[in-house]
Amino acid sequence: MMETENNGPEALEANENIIKHVHDADILIVHMTIVNKKLIDAAKNLKLLGIMRGGCDNANVDYAKEKGIKVVNSGARSSDAVADFTVGMIISEMKNIARSFCELKKGNWVSGYSNFEYAHDLSKNTIGIIGFGIIGQRVAARLKSFGSKIIVYDPYVGDDGIKEKGYLPVSLDKLLTSSDVISIHMRLSTDTKKMIGKNEFDKMKKNAFFINTARAGLVDEDALYNALKGCKIAGAAIDVFNVEPLPKDHRLIQLDNITITPHIAGKTCDTSTNSAELIAIELKRFLDNK
């Protein structure tokens, strides 16, 4: 998955066994399977490509469209899972849930942590949401119920779209300098790759917590490490990394102001069911010429 996320579907070979069986296919439904030019060229009759994932990193969507093939995916399959998880990560990092558990496992009763002066109630926090797609919207809705002030940046949605949902649109600079918690939910593209780097971390408040449950490539990992190591921000909660699985000696693990998890934000028992149901809806729309 990381290879296609970083380098696209052409970086890997398509499954030869699948290539042998797609020549007469009108519809192809895949999950993680690589759908590159070679496979698309082999599927001479293909009219619809369905990808049972939130993104389409494993498929050459542009090439499929050039061939007149419609492409659909299960875009919202893990939206609730990721939104729930994001809120959990914010609370876990700010309230020291994970690190206090680790200390108890070691036999240590630790009730004071270095971020204590920054760990405010959520109702007293300004939370900045970068990216206001389905997941960003659901994270905002959950945090609004805590009484948090929500500000949003998304150049693709636009100010009117953000206002229609009842939130305050701001510039990226304003969000970075004003937020107590910053959670990123952008799609990874050439335009958004490493959109959060040294300059962005330098603009954040010293008491800010940074959350990434989206894509590792959105953040300059070196800049994140340096911001945390130098205590330029209060802490971070990260679910995605440039190298996965994360090596045991990875430098982020050595820090005491970060909560890390093994890329599990979207993993619930409902996600697979949602994938199939959403693709089935798209398949019916296609068959009904809608």
Q: What is the pLDDT of residue 67?
A: 94
Q: Cα(288)–Cα(282) distance, rounded to whole angstroms? A: 10
Are 143 and 113 part of one and the same domain? yes
Are 122 and 47 part of one and the same domain? no
Are 63 and 87 part of one and the same domain? no
Q: Cα(92)–Cα(111) distance, rounded to whole angstroms? A: 14
Q: 156: domain CATH number? A: 3.40.50.720
Are 72 and 91 part of one and the same domain? no
Q: What is the pLDDT of residue 235?
A: 97
Are 109 and 121 part of one and the same domain? yes
Q: Cα(162)–Cα(216) distance, rounded to whole angstroms? A: 25
DSSP state, residue 245: S
Are 128 and 176 part of one and the same domain? yes
Q: What is the pLDDT of residue 241?
A: 97
* 263 in active site: yes
Are 185 and 280 part of one and the same domain? no
Q: What is the pLDDT of residue 147?
A: 97
Are 19 and 117 part of one and the same domain? no
Are 210 and 95 part of one and the same domain? yes
Taking alpha carbons only, the member of 275, 290, 276, 287 closest to residue 55 is 275
SS3 state of residue 29: strand
Taking alpha carbons only, the member of 157, 159, 227 closest to residue 187 is 157
* Active-site choice (244, 251, 277, 285): 244
Cα within 13 Å of Cα(53), Cβ side = 15
pLDDT in tens, the chain (290 residues): 666 666 777 888 888 989 999 999 999 999 889 999 999 999 999 999 999 987 788 999 999 999 999 999 987 888 999 999 999 999 999 999 999 999 999 999 999 998 988 989 999 999 999 999 999 999 999 999 999 999 999 999 989 999 999 999 999 999 999 999 999 999 998 999 999 999 999 999 999 999 999 999 999 999 999 999 999 999 999 999 999 999 999 999 999 999 999 999 988 888 888 888 999 999 999 999 88
* 282 in active site: no
Q: Whole domain around residue 43: which residue ranges? A: 2-77+269-287
Are 121 and 236 part of one and the same domain? yes
Task: Please state the domain count of the chain.
Answer: 2
Distances (CA, A) of 103 to 97, 111, 222: 10, 10, 27
Q: Quick one: how far is CA 41 from the chain centroid?
A: 31
Are 98 and 224 part of one and the same domain? yes
* Active-site choice (99, 215, 221, 282): 215
Are 252 and 112 part of one and the same domain? yes
Q: What is the pLDDT of residue 272?
A: 84
* Active-site choice (77, 99, 138, 263): 263
Q: What is the pLDDT of residue 56?
A: 86
